Amino acid sequence: MFTQLKQRKSPLAAAIGLLLLAGNVNAQDAVPASAEEWFKHGKQTVKAAEKLKHNERKARNVILFVGDGMGVSTVTAARILEGQLREADGEFNRLSFEKFPYMAHSVTASANQQTSDSAPTATAMVAGIKTNDGAISVDQTINRTEPSADVTAAKSVKTIMEQAEERGLSTGVVSTARITHATPAVNYAHISNRDWENNTNLPAGATVKDIAAQLIDFPYGNGIEVVLGGGRSNFMTNQSVDPEYPTRKGSRTDGRELTQEWVSQPKSAYVWDQAGFDAIDPSSTDRLLGLFERSHMKYEADRADDTAGEPSLADMTKKAIEMLQKNKKGYYLMVEAGRIDHAHHAGNAHRALTDTIALSEAVKMAQEMTNDKDTLIVVTADHSHVFTLAGYPSRGNPILGKAAINGVELKDSLGLPYTTLGYANGPGFIGEGTRKVFNPLTEGYVAAEYVGTKSRPDLSGIDTTDPNYLQEAAVPMGSETHAGEDVAIYAAGPKAHLFHGTQEQHVIYHVMSQALGFSGSHWGW
């Protein structure tokens, strides 16, 4: 799963290399061992930062990576886990995008919510405005259940993908979630309700097209070149047998077999498994649709067990870039690690963190295939989760384990051990008789034996590093919730320095647009 990062060849490469050297971020044996070495490390880091120069060039390409639900605590814990999996110092480790030279805070509040969902936060990133929860690339004045295509069109905001296609660039969207899910959908769809993913979800009498249909009927340029992710059932009729699950059929009742409509275009291909994906030759394929699950793709931790096989997020990123880079005018690509969010909702830190590491691998792949002389790469999150690291464990303590100092487990006021990782709310609430574990097959919960007589179970004999363990939650909820604090923006390449300080989330669009040299807007500015 983990690859080695190659040195980037660009004007910033030398300075970034010095930053990495100063930070010793991947060196397993280079953790400062004395006060003098720590002091020297800090001084070297500052000297390296002084050598950074702003890249004012126009970007040919923009790649936006979105870790859905990847708050700062998730990045920190994933950083530690990745290092520990390599038997390195996890605290001194850095994920690939943490080595980028520029960083800012993103304020994720939507137009109407203090804590937002993915629809308005992703819309902000690709359309440059704040809107309401549930809304997909439409403004905040629209009704949440607006059925009219005309009203929806009047309130729609043109996205950076649509603008890129108008200007002759190639475009793509990649996600481990359903490709019709909120974050990927904001690139190509305009709709008041994020849940209207296929025609059966629409209210009676609606004239607005469902999200899957809008992807196929995308009206700008020569259409989207690359679409890779999950959500196959939304593109198949209810008479079509699923190729991977022969007892299941598609969801559509309007007779539109959207996968076949896709391949009706010249040099277009549709794939649904690993073998089909591997067989695609980017040099002879101009348009690629890959839908690898009926719903969301597998978590990274479970991907190897998939019946038909699924490409990794890094694999999909590689294939997308190979296809898009054929266009000399450039490209826009969004890559979403959508299942970080789902694992957090399930209260399952293991899968949230391993999917975050998979995102880091995808960013590495993009770095290796591009040059920050002409490619702006932005890595961020749409929102955070109520996920915490706490308890004073010693450095090197297993991040998925119980809090301990030098191997001695710490105890709470009841005299019971506890984990370093936890949630403020969610299905992992621990009360007598309520302990649960995650079932990866059903993605539901299975009751587990309660150990002890107190208000918390005794975790002494429980392996909290088990992939199916649910971290404890303070407030009982069927699904853990998003959090409202800022998330981070990491950037490298042309105009990356425009990310600074604490910025509203919709500024991300405006930096990408500026980097690509786009002028004008939905309002003609």
The DSSP code sequence of 226-270 is: EEEEE-GGGGSBTTSBPSS-TT-B--B-SS--HHHHHHTSTTEEE
From CA 2, how far away is CA 380, in angstroms rounded?
Answer: 20
Q: Is pLDDT above 60 for 69? A: yes
Q: Specify whether 479 is catalytic.
A: no
The CATH class, in words, for 61-386+486-516 is alpha beta
Q: Is pLDDT above 70 for 161? A: yes
Mean pLDDT for the chain overall: 93
The residue extents of the domains of the chain are: 61-386+486-516, 390-480
From CA 143, how far away is CA 125, in angstroms rounded?
Answer: 21
Query: On the CB side of 109, how many CA atoms lie within 13 Å of its CA?
Result: 8
List 460's β-bridge partners, or say none.
none
Q: Label the pairing between strands 331-337 and 61-67.
A: parallel
The answer to whether 179 and 170 are in contact (CB under 8 A) is no
The H or E element spanning position 171 is strand 170-178
Task: Return the closest-CA partner of residue 467 out of 444, 431, 439.
Answer: 439
- Lowest mean pLDDT of 246-250, 301-305, 439-443, name the range: 439-443
Write down the H helix ranges in 25-155. Answer: 35-50, 72-85, 118-127, 149-154
Which tokens is 3 given?
Answer: 């690859």
The SS3 call for residue 363 is helix
From CA 228, how far away is CA 270, in angstroms rounded?
Answer: 10
Nearest-5° Cα angle at 396, 391 to 401: 55
Band (521; pLDDT cuts 50, 70, 90) = low
The SS3 call for residue 111 is coil
From CA 442, how far away is CA 306, in angstroms rounded?
Answer: 13
From CA 234, how far away is CA 261, in angstroms rounded?
Answer: 13
Rounded average pLDDT over 430-451? 82
Nearest-5° Cα angle at 49, 353 to 19: 50
Band (236; pLDDT cuts 50, 70, 90) = very high
Backbone angles phi, psi at 378, to 5 degrees: -120, 130
- Lowest mean pLDDT of 5-9, 453-457, 485-489, name the range: 5-9
The torsion region of residue 87 among left (phi > 0), alpha (psi -120 to 50) and beta comes to left
How far from the centroid of its chain's Cα atoms is residue 172's Cα? 15
Whole-number pLDDT of residue 18: 39
The H or E element spanning position 438 is strand 436-439
Whole-number pLDDT of residue 243: 97
Q: Is pLDDT above 70 for 373? A: yes
User: Pick the catalytic residue: 10, 96, 116, 118?
Assistant: 118
Look-up of token digits 């699904």: 479
From CA 482, how far away is CA 17, in angstroms rounded?
Answer: 35
- The percent of residues in the chain predicted with pLDDT above 90, rounded, is 88
N residues, the chain: 525
- Lowest mean pLDDT of 105-114, 364-373, 435-444, 505-514, name the range: 435-444
From CA 355, how far away is CA 334, in angstroms rounded?
Answer: 17
Backbone angles phi, psi at 83, to 5 degrees: -65, -45
Q: Tell me, what amino acid is at 449?
A: E
Contacts of 478 (CB under 8 A, 6+ apart): 427
How far from the centroid of its chain's Cα atoms is residue 75's Cα? 12
Query: On the CB side of 225, how many CA atoms lie within 13 Å of its CA?
Result: 28
From CA 487, how far away is CA 385, in angstroms rounded?
Answer: 10
pTM: 0.94
Q: Is pLDDT above 70 for 140? A: yes
From CA 323, how far away is CA 337, in angstroms rounded?
Answer: 20
Q: Is pLDDT above 70 for 136? A: yes
Task: Return the closest-CA partner of residue 466 out of 419, 427, 512.
Answer: 419
The SS3 call for residue 92 is coil
Write down the H helix ranges in 128-189. Answer: 149-154, 160-166, 182-185
Look-up of token digits 């007892």: 247
